Amino acid sequence: MRLATIRTPGGTRAARVDPITGDATLLEGSSLRAVLDQPGWRHSIPTIEGPVLASDDVRFAPVVPDPDKIICVGVNYRAHIEEMGREIPAHPTYFAKYRRALIGAYDSIRLPDSDVSTMIDWEGELAIVIGQPARNASPSEAAAAIAGFCVLNDVSARDWQRRTIQFLAGKTFEAMTPVGPWITTSDEVGVSPSLDIRTEVDGVTKQSSNTSDLVFGPVDIVQDLSRIITLDPGDIIATGTPSGVGFARSPQEFLGPGSTVSVIIDTLGSVRNICEAS
Amino acid sequence: MRLATIRTPGGTRAARVDPITGDATLLEGSSLRAVLDQPGWRHSIPTIEGPVLASDDVRFAPVVPDPDKIICVGVNYRAHIEEMGREIPAHPTYFAKYRRALIGAYDSIRLPDSDVSTMIDWEGELAIVIGQPARNASPSEAAAAIAGFCVLNDVSARDWQRRTIQFLAGKTFEAMTPVGPWITTSDEVGVSPSLDIRTEVDGVTKQSSNTSDLVFGPVDIVQDLSRIITLDPGDIIATGTPSGVGFARSPQEFLGPGSTVSVIIDTLGSVRNICEAS
């Protein structure tokens, strides 16, 4: 099942997206978060009926536009760790984003003014969306808490990320993080999916890996985070990026006005975004 | 003017707190965030009437229980930077907390199980609360965006903070960050207050400084953050802690079950919390 948040003339709405036609059945709630907050959603939502929007009219908002938390995992693909010159870590590295960083799967990325940042880089990622609360979770509880997965581009301002020892500033620029287009629920892809992931810039492949190269998989991450804090339905967890980011290239490469960047994950779909000067 | 969020039998409510009697006038909205979201609040709220709760019956929730963002500044007092062996930074260091970390000014701090963390430390801090949106703010716009100030204890799990290169994990443990009890609005204390700040553990002073020792003051911080992302009414920004944390002592000191920790800021009030085993 594919679940999303879409834009309608009356505001955003949760929706179930038909995997064949792309048509969207509108659900109750202005955000997918409201659906995932209903304990029985896995059973009730597949067959629920509602107004249908034809695929041509579907406009994707961020998959959850109003998550309680956006948690990002850094240094989590073996090959990316090697390219950044780091050791394989003993624990997941976490940092945050705020809600205002999120954009829809096909929205424009709003580049900062050039006097603010000129080092805007891509990071294609598999994202987990939480479907039930998790606190001090066992492995099976962590698995059950995963609603499904989607695609996220953790677009980063490298100058701000490295301005201090903490990544946050470079990771939460307004309207630069596409997420979506929909979640594919875990009953279809499992909770530890092995999926090809690829990032393209202007049609050229820059990152190409498989989510099986993750050092810490989705269940590990959810279990570990749940020792710190309760995870809530709608929380988004970006699991880290594979090798091939622009910052680590020689010479370095960055996104500029007019760049088109796509992240494609097998089975889950893709986000594709044009960079616009602000 | 003192503004808070308090607990009532019907749920949390925004309130104006009388500085002499401590009585609370109930305002519309379940959170102070709803009040700060009204553009004219600085003019309308001082004289608005409503049901009054006697001071003995006032129970403080987190000053804003549902902020869009909680942003923390690290390494920002000159003397604390020296105790941690760091250089005076050129830019503010930012990290995050999530909503579930917050507790009221006099709530218990819920210690993690000892197999999760045994290095729980205090960090008394001045916190900014935002009162109007700010994006790419000028200094005067940044000043105008500050609703006021309150007290925050950035209680930290040092083992988790230092488990990786990113602080977040050690900074956002559930129900460990008291904030409040109220904000004192900027018309009373200005936007760059020079106030004595003190942290006491079981009655012994552990931190003692003045907010004038901040490397980056409130206006600097708001202006800088607004280049990254829009600040919203109700956002909480913790400005960093002075020297005297337990981790930097010799021998090191940490909080345990039964410890009482207080942070007192001249004019603004105090938070006082007992640590309880979970």
CB-CB under 8 Å, A229 with B94: no
d(CA B184, CA B250): 36
Average pLDDT for chain B: 96
Q: Which of B93, B163, B232 sits opposite A166 (nearest CB)?
A: B93
- Counting every residue written for chain B, the total comes to 278
CB-CB under 8 Å, A93 with B227: no
d(CA B23, CA B37): 23
Has residue B249 been placed in a domain? yes
| pLDDT tops 90 at residue A81 | no
Q: Which chain B residues are closer than 8 Å to A81 by Cβ?
A: none
CB-CB under 8 Å, B167 with A91: no
Low-confidence winner among B82-86, B106-110, B207-211, B219-223 (lowest mean pLDDT): B82-86
Has residue B220 been placed in a domain? yes
B12's tokens: 């949390």
Q: Which chain B residues are closer than 8 Å to A165 by Cβ?
A: 93, 165
Disruptive mutation site among A99, A229, A231 for chain B (greatest number of B CBs within 10 Å): A229
Concatenate the DSSP letters of all residues of B99-162 into one string. Answer: GGGEE-TTSPEEEPPTTT-S-EE--EEEEEEE-S-BSS--HHHHHHHEEEEEEEE--EEHHHHT
Q: Which of A92, A99, A166 sits opposite B95 (nearest CB)?
A: A166
| pLDDT tops 80 at residue A84 | no
What are the angstrom distances between the C-alpha of A277 and each of A62, A116, A123, A274, B134?
A: 21, 12, 19, 10, 20
Average of per-residue pLDDT across A144-170: 97
A92-141: pLDDT as tens digits:
999 999 999 999 999 999 999 999 999 999 999 999 999 999 999 999 99
- The H or E element containing residue A43 is helix A41-44
Total of domains in chain A = 1
Has residue A20 been placed in a domain? no
Has residue B26 been placed in a domain? no
- pLDDT for B232: 98
Chain B residues touching chain A at CB-CB below 8 Å:
68-69, 71, 74, 89-96, 98-101, 112, 116, 135, 160, 163-169, 172-174, 227-230, 232
pLDDT confidence of A79, banded at 50, 70, 90? confident
Pick from B181, B207, B214: nearest CA to B261: B207
B169's tokens: 């994990």
Characterize B172-183 residue by residue with b for buried, 16 or more Cβ atoms within 10 angstroms of its Cβ, and e for exposed.
bbbbbbbbbbbb
Disruptive mutation site among A87, A159, A160, A168 for chain B (greatest number of B CBs within 10 Å): A168
CB-CB under 8 Å, A99 with B230: no
Q: What percent of chain B has pLDDT over 70?
A: 100
Has residue B248 been placed in a domain? yes
Amino acid at B55: S
Q: Which chain A residues are closer than 8 Å to B177 by Cβ?
A: none
Q: State the complex-level ipTM.
A: 0.96
What are the angstrom distances between the C-alpha of A19 and each of A1, A2, A139, A269, B26?
A: 8, 7, 30, 10, 50
Q: How far is CA B216 from the centre of its chain?
A: 16
d(CA A167, CA A160): 8
d(CA A49, CA A198): 35
pLDDT confidence of A75, banded at 50, 70, 90? confident
Has residue A16 been placed in a domain? no
Residue A67: CB atoms within 10 Å: 26
Has residue B177 been placed in a domain? yes
Has residue B17 been placed in a domain? no
pLDDT confidence of B69, banded at 50, 70, 90? very high
Containing structural domain, residue B235: 60-277
| pLDDT tops 80 at residue B80 | no
Average of per-residue pLDDT across A79-91: 83
Residue of A nearest to B73 (CA): A166
Pick from A175, A176, A208, A213: nearest CA to A194: A213
Residue A185 sits in a domain whose CATH number is 3.90.850.10
Instruction: State the sign of the Cα–Cα–Cα–Cα dihedral A173, A233, A34, B13.
Output: negative
- pLDDT for B85: 80
CB-CB under 8 Å, B174 with A230: yes
| pLDDT tops 90 at residue B86 | no
> What is the torsion angle, in degrees rounded to the nearest 10, for the CA atoms of residue B92, residue B128, residue B226 and residue B34?
150
DSSP reduced 3-state for A188 = helix
Residue A154: CB atoms within 10 Å: 28
- The H or E element containing residue A33 is helix A32-36
- pLDDT for A80: 76
pLDDT confidence of B136, banded at 50, 70, 90? very high
- pLDDT for A56: 97
B148's tokens: 């006021």
CB-CB under 8 Å, B173 with A99: no
- pLDDT for B81: 82
d(CA B32, CA B62): 10
d(CA B217, CA B96): 18
